[in-house]
Amino acid sequence: MLEKIQNLIDEVKALHAKNAEEAESLRIKYLSKKGSISALFDDFKQVQPELKREVGKKLNELKTLATDRINELKESFAQQQNASTGVDLSLPGTSYVCGGRHPLSIVKNDIIEIFSRLGFTVAEGPEVEDDWHVFTALNFPLEHPARDMQDTFFINTNPDLLLRTHTSSVQVRMMEKQRPPIRAVFPGRVFRNEAISARAHCIFHQVEGLYIAKNVSFADLKQTLSYFAKEMFGADTQIRLRPSYFPFTEPSAEMDVSCSLCGGKGCGVCKGTGWLEILGCGMVDPAVLEANGIDSKEYSGFAFGMGVERIAMLRYQVKDIRLFFENDVRFLQQFKSAY
């Protein structure tokens, strides 16, 4: 037995292979379950007890030697292959960059989420609209300046079609298809023919809100918007409603929130006033309800509309609105963990 082992040791020491396949067949010949070394381990059971120690030692020596030698052969072929293909399979892979949400989507989703807690559903309308949904049904007089070419992008081939200038058009679409009670928000992209600057863009986003039911009052509007402001900008946030004018609401107001940066004391962002304007709102004008087939004696409602860019600029201290549309990854990367 010892002699047999010694012969195999000599044999294994001299092993050679021309390629990876040959090395593998050597492994099978010596080390597989039916291989010659494994066979010796079977024979080992018959060895006389007093010899077991010596034979066992030798047998283990053979096995280690064979394993090492065959692995060595195999590795040499693997390295040769790397060298010939130029690929080192042992290198770590290149990591790829994961995308993140756009800051405007983060803010839009937050706005929707806050209103959904109050039972508001979400609806959308078309970006290419007709005059009725954007202006006429919303009580815009024919000579209103918003209808002007200066403000509105019209579609050349059809003067009745235009790019919506506000998401209030979706109020009309909602009233057409659903009877009160209505409680919904409408996020979307809007277009205005404005010179592009750090503060204005010809494309931006709004979230509109509409609530129509019996006995809806201005107090409901104020409480809803106060809740929104505190959820969005922090529990200490105060709101201020200033009288304003929109053709489709009466009375109308613009809402300011206390500047979260200086806590209302006055700073560069709020231009020393302590207040930041974030939205327009008001009670739905009875004429709008009637134009959309809703009995204004039975129902009342409120509406509001806010600019998503404006809120994102305040929240993230972005000084130039154009950054939102340039898709510069250095800018966008900063918002990766923000959702």
Size of the site for ligand PHE (CB under 6 A): 11
* Binding residue (CB under 6 A) for ligand PHE from 125, 180, 274, 282: 282
Q: How far is the CB of 236 from ligand PHE (least distance, A)?
A: 26
Stretch that binds ligand PHE, among 66-74, 93-101, 117-125, 301-309 (CB under 6 A): 301-309
Nearer to ligand PHE, 132 or 339 (CB): 132
Q: How far is the CB of 129 from ligand PHE (least distance, A)?
A: 13
The DSSP letter of residue 206 is E
Tokens of 190: 């809007």
Q: How far is the CB of 219 from ligand PHE (least distance, A)?
A: 17
**Sign, CA torsion 310/338/112/261:** negative
Stretch that binds ligand PHE, among 45-53, 178-186, 258-266, 297-305 (CB under 6 A): 297-305
Stretch that binds ligand PHE, among 58-66, 85-93, 213-221, 299-307 (CB under 6 A): 299-307
Q: How far is CA 7 from CA 1, 14, 36, in A?
A: 10, 11, 12
Instruction: Say if CB 165 and CB 146 are below 8 A apart.
Output: yes
Mask 199-238, x = binds ligand PHE (CB under 6 A)?
---------x------------------------------
Q: Write out the H or E segment, with its range, that includes residue 122.
A: strand 121-122
- Check residue 305 for interaction with ligand PHE (CB under 6 A): yes
Query: Angle, nearest 10°, between helix axes 218-233 and 103-116?
Result: 130
| DSSP-assigned letters across all residues of 258-284 | E-TTTTTS--TTTTTSSEEEEEEEEEE
- Check residue 280 for interaction with ligand PHE (CB under 6 A): yes
Q: How many CB atoms lie within 10 A of CB 116?
A: 13
Burial label for 301, CB within 10 Å (0-12, 13-18, 19+), is buried
Stretch that binds ligand PHE, among 70-78, 224-232, 260-268, 300-308 (CB under 6 A): 300-308
Rounded Cα–Cα distance for residues 332 and 288 (Å):
40
Q: How far is the CB of 273 from ligand PHE (least distance, A)?
A: 20
- Check residue 301 for interaction with ligand PHE (CB under 6 A): no
Nearer to ligand PHE, 23 or 190 (CB): 190
- Check residue 281 for interaction with ligand PHE (CB under 6 A): yes
- Check residue 249 for interaction with ligand PHE (CB under 6 A): yes
Residue type, 9: I
**CA-closest candidate to residue 204, choices 318, 312, 308, 125:** 308
Rounded Cα–Cα distance for residues 324 and 164 (Å):
20
Mask 9-48, x = binds ligand PHE (CB under 6 A)?
----------------------------------------
Tokens of 53: 């120690």
- Check residue 303 for interaction with ligand PHE (CB under 6 A): yes
Q: How far is the CB of 127 from ligand PHE (least distance, A)?
A: 14
- Check residue 191 for interaction with ligand PHE (CB under 6 A): no
Q: How many CB atoms lie within 10 A of CB 127?
A: 15
For ligand PHE, the binding residues in 123-182 under the rule CB under 6 A are 166, 168
Rounded Cα–Cα distance for residues 287 and 136 (Å):
11
Q: Write out the H or E segment, with its range, that includes residue 188.
A: strand 182-191
- Check residue 188 for interaction with ligand PHE (CB under 6 A): no
* Binding residue (CB under 6 A) for ligand PHE from 304, 309, 313, 314: 304
**Sign, CA torsion 195/201/202/208:** negative
For ligand PHE, the binding residues (CB under 6 A) are: 166, 168, 208, 246, 249, 280-282, 303-305
